[in-house]
Amino acid sequence: MIYADNAATTKMSEAAIHTMVSLLNETWGNPSSLYEHGQKAKEVLEKAREEVAAAIGAEPREIVFTSGGSEADNQAILSAAALGKKNGKIHIISSAFEHHAVLHTLNKLEKEGYEVTLLDVHENGLIVPEEVEEAIREDTCLVTIMTANNEIGTIQPIREIGAICRKKNVLFHTDAVQAIAHIPVNVADDHIDMLSASAHKFHGPKGVGFLSARKGIRLTNLIEGGAQERGRRAGTENVPGIAAMTAALKETCGKMAENAEHLTKLRNMLIEGLKEIPHSALNGDAERRLPGNVNFCFEGIEGESLLLLLDDRGIQASSGSACTSGSLDPSHVLLAIGRVHDVAHGSLRLSLGEDTTEEDVRYMIRSVKEVVEYLRGFSPIWRDLMSGKKEFIL
């Protein structure tokens, strides 16, 4: 079996599992309790906060542990919106290919009277910093742009965008869920005010993540209750999950350069191989992309059939985001980079992991080539393309 869907979720590392199990067995107290067992859990929690903060250049008190990336995105955006409204600022800038945790939160705000500008991500899947600057208005309260895209892997110029926001005195949030532990991100150097991350995208457990919010930014509470997380997130802390996330973060960050080198080599090999398929195209910039991300469109086929046949051959991949698979709508990310519906339907995302091998890549290239050819053999769209009834786009 070849697991090539690491952008959807990753396997927990041994270190993360070990940390989690030992805490479940031994340090299961409530960090708010004053007796020793609770205080031990509190120590684990605060040590985790220090280590998470250190990994991204933040201060420990700037870290709020959440249930994952979606919650962190919601909290960051709703907080900036609430702060903005107090000063009559109701304009938010984002991009058309953000994760749904961002886009759906923005939709909700639009219904409440906020104005949202979605920037063009162009054909290469990249934001142009100057266009961020041009879009900023007197009443802009937030710019939220993801660090790396979950479908096509493109890496945004967040440092430039952050510098512009700082200069213009506008809050900058970045959904860094796909980037953390895979490429360097530093909230101080990159001028990031708020950052979202999720453990299960870097070999930690699901249901845990964090929001980093620069001190002085008053966060809106999504959950009312106790005073945990300095009153920014009520509910007894998931100490085993948080500690396991921290173990995974330290481990994966420690091997970041080595992993990136290995993955970039495999990624480029896979891209070169798949490019040989006629009427195919890589989605997103070839260089400014995550080390393990490959995303292609193949004209004349359905992504769903491709996935099922690859699964039969032991290859687990995706046609885009896990959230939209199962629906017939093409990916909003592929539409945002200008792919037309027919072409966007024939997409395939292979997101490699640290244990992917060259042999796996060769097998994937061979399998995708054969399956695409097979599917085209009885595709009515392909027949129309070949007979000239329809024109090729790719």
Tokens of 143: 């710019």
Work out whether 144 is an interface residue with ligand PLP (CB under 6 A).
no
Shortest distance in whole angstroms from residue 239 CB to ligand PLP: 18
3-state secondary structure of 181: coil
Binding mask 51-70 for ligand PLP (x = CB under 6 A): -----------------xxx
Find the part of the chain contacting ligand PLP (CB under 6 A) among 36-44, 197-205, 328-336, 373-381: 197-205
Sign (positive or negative) of CA dihedral 89, 95, 99, 103: positive
Work out whether 320 is an interface residue with ligand PLP (CB under 6 A).
no
Work out whether 126 is an interface residue with ligand PLP (CB under 6 A).
no
- Cβ atoms of residues 148 and 91 within 8 Å: no
Find the part of the chain contacting ligand PLP (CB under 6 A) among 175-183, 257-265, 278-286, 383-391: 175-183
- Cβ atoms of residues 154 and 124 within 8 Å: yes
Gap between the Cα atoms of 348 and 236, Å rounded: 40
Q: Which is nearer to ligand PLP, 333 or 375 (CB)?
A: 333
Work out whether 204 is an interface residue with ligand PLP (CB under 6 A).
no
Shortest distance in whole angstroms from residue 253 CB to ligand PLP: 18
Work out whether 241 is an interface residue with ligand PLP (CB under 6 A).
no
- Cβ atoms of residues 185 and 195 within 8 Å: yes
Q: Which residue among 144, 178, 259, 293 contacts ligand PLP (CB under 6 A)?
A: 178
Q: Which is nearer to ligand PLP, 8 or 371 (CB)?
A: 8
Q: What angle do CA 132, 136, 138 make, to 5 degrees?
A: 170
Q: Which residue among 99, 191, 232, 349 contacts ligand PLP (CB under 6 A)?
A: 99
Closest CA to 354 of 17, 4, 8, 56: 4
Tokens of 310: 């690859």
Q: Which is nearer to ligand PLP, 239 or 290 (CB)?
A: 290
Which helix (H) or strand (E) segment holds residue 229: the answer is helix 228-231
Q: Which residue among 5, 175, 302, 360 contacts ligand PLP (CB under 6 A)?
A: 175
Work out whether 5 is an interface residue with ligand PLP (CB under 6 A).
no
Q: What angle do CA 345, 349, 354 make, to 5 degrees?
A: 175
- Cβ atoms of residues 199 and 68 within 8 Å: yes
User: Of the residues 141, 253, 297, 323, which is catalytic?
Assistant: 323
Report strand pairing: 194-198 vs 209-213. Answer: antiparallel
Find the part of the chain contacting ligand PLP (CB under 6 A) among 79-87, 161-169, 193-201, 272-280: 193-201
Report strand pairing: 115-119 vs 293-298. Answer: unpaired
Shortest distance in whole angstroms from residue 379 CB to ligand PLP: 31
Tokens of 347: 């997409």
Gap between the Cα atoms of 321 and 9, Å rounded: 11
Binding mask 14-53 for ligand PLP (x = CB under 6 A): ----------------------------------------
Work out whether 177 is an interface residue with ligand PLP (CB under 6 A).
yes
141 part of the active site: no
Q: Which residues have CB under 8 Å from 176's CB, separation 6+?
A: 146, 147, 148, 185, 192, 195, 196, 197
Helix intervals (H) in 62-195: 69-86, 100-111, 129-135, 158-168
Q: Which is nearer to ligand PLP, 197 or 385 (CB)?
A: 197
Work out whether 345 is an interface residue with ligand PLP (CB under 6 A).
no
Q: Which residue among 44, 76, 77, 101 contacts ligand PLP (CB under 6 A)?
A: 101
Find the part of the chain contacting ligand PLP (CB under 6 A) among 127-135, 173-181, 358-366, 370-378: 173-181
Work out whether 233 is an interface residue with ligand PLP (CB under 6 A).
no
- Cβ atoms of residues 232 and 34 within 8 Å: no
DSSP assignment, residue 5?
Answer: B
Q: Which is nearer to ligand PLP, 232 or 279 (CB)?
A: 232
Query: Mind telling me the catalytic residues?
Result: 323
Site residues, ligand PLP (CB under 6 A)? 68-70, 73, 99, 101, 146, 150, 175, 177-178, 198, 200-201, 209
